[in-house]
Chains A and B, each alone.
Chain A
Amino acid sequence: MLLQQLTDSIAGLGIWQLTAGNVIMWVISFALMYLAIKKGVEPLLLVPISFGIFAANFPLTGLTGEGGLFYLFFHHGIETELIPPLIFLGLGAMTDFGPVLANPKTLILGAAAQLGVYAAFFTALLFGFTIEEAATIGIIGGADGPTTIYLSANLAPHLMGATSVAAYSYMALVPVIIPPVAKLLTTKKERAMVMTGMRTVSKAEKILFPILASLVIILLVPQAAPLMAMFMLGNLFMESGVVERLTNVSRNELMNIVTIFLGLGVGSTMSAENFLNPKTIYIFILGVVAFSFAAAGGILIAKLMNVFSKNKVNPLIGAAGVSAVPMAARVVHNIGSEANPQNYLLMHAMGPNVAGVIGTAVAAGAFIMAIK
């Protein structure tokens, strides 16, 4: 009897159920932890995601099974599409739309960068992905993690792990991906172009913007409402200046709490059987395609705008249309000042940069509208 119990206990140990797939996923999780902790690659997201992958790949835990702890994070937070809009609330409470208001045509550059989304969409179809999967992969080009997760939850939940890790990893690789594309598509003279100072934007304009943006975008693309409404509410909190407590809680405490749930929820979807397949490799390749075409789209449309416009823009700022705020704008600024040390493009590049966040949310809404 005792011997039988002992044998059963030993047979029930998790270690016997460990598969090679679990071990490979651990190695991947350690690699992501290394990137996040040692190299500072999107640590706020990659630390919980990587630990989520690590914990989800222990056998017999029931963490990711129905009713398990990670399942609850995933099901209630992500599958119900609750967390990405809450992240957008926090992002809104951190975003200054002043550069967009000072130079509204940067909105078109934010739209232009979404061309990368559609380039990756078609490339993914050529790789044999379904339309739903291709849309989820394409949105990686928007360089916006919460939007990628939101669209994935809507159209292809089985790809969420790979697409979100690709989106967050490539956001950190913006300084590697943008410069060669920007240098290939612009001349030194264009990169050296100095842009004139921006006009001062009044407080009233900043308060009015979230209301106008909500009106225009949600009326045109209602499926973008969960992201846009929360983004603009967060921005209204900040710009109104009368709800400091709500502004602070949106961009600090709430954002931090939901980030933990988001990271663990996403990580928990990355089981060996879900992640270890050729599709994951294709997704990472397509992520680079998406990012490169997004930067290229922004630059080329900026050049086109210059043909018709009196007030010319430095075409480099188009590349900042890939969201990744504010890293893309910083990278663009650095390329500009490399060509001309007198060139200060940072604030000009912030316009397309924040416009890109809106553009990606609209693109995600448009995909849901057309596909679902």
Chain B
Amino acid sequence: MVEWSKALSVATSGIVSVFLALGILQITITISGYSFSQAQKRKAAKIKSSTGNMIVSDAVISTHE
């Protein structure tokens, strides 16, 4: 004789656990991915601006020359 109420609770808790675990993991890696890409963008912008300054200063030097 199958205990249907127990079976139902086993399945419900299982489905909830699977979706909860993978759902929270999805949110976690979305946030961490966003943070990483923002950090990369900031780093790229910083490099770009410092390269730009170098070009400007080079141009200034060459004008003076």
Interface residues of A (CB under 8 A from B): 100-101, 104-105, 107-108, 110-111, 114-115, 117-118, 121-122, 125, 128, 130-131, 134-135, 199, 201-202, 204-205, 208-209, 212-213, 216-217, 220-221, 355, 358-359, 362-363, 365-367, 369-371
For B18, B25, B30, the residue with the greatest tally of chain A CB atoms inside 10 Å of its CB is: B18
- The answer on a CB contact under 8 Å between A118 and B14 is yes
Verify B2–A366 contact, CB threshold 8 A.
no
Out of A128, A205, A370, which one reaches B9, CB within 8 Å?
A370
CB under 8 Å from chain A, chain B span 1-36: 2-4, 6-7, 9-11, 13-15, 17-30, 32-33, 36
- When the two chains form their complex, are residues A110 and B29 in contact, meaning their CB atoms are under 8 A apart? no
Which residues from chain A contact B19 at a C-beta distance below 8 Å? 108, 111
A220 lies within 8 A of B17 (CB): yes
| B25–A107 touching, CB < 8 Å | yes
| B50 contact set on A, CB distance < 8 A | none
Query: Contact at A212–B11, with CB atoms within 8 Å?
Result: no
Q: Are A118 and B15 in contact (CB under 8 A)?
A: yes
A363-B14 contact, Cβ under 8 Å, with A125-B2, A370-B9: yes
Interface size on B, residues (CB 8 A): 30
B40 within 8 A of A: yes
Does chain A have a CB within 8 A of B57? no
Q: Could you say which of B13, B21, B32 contacts A217, with CB atoms under 8 Å apart?
A: B21
Q: How many angstroms between the C-alpha atoms of A105 and B19 in the bound complex? A: 12
Q: Are B15 and A204 in contact (CB under 8 A)?
A: no
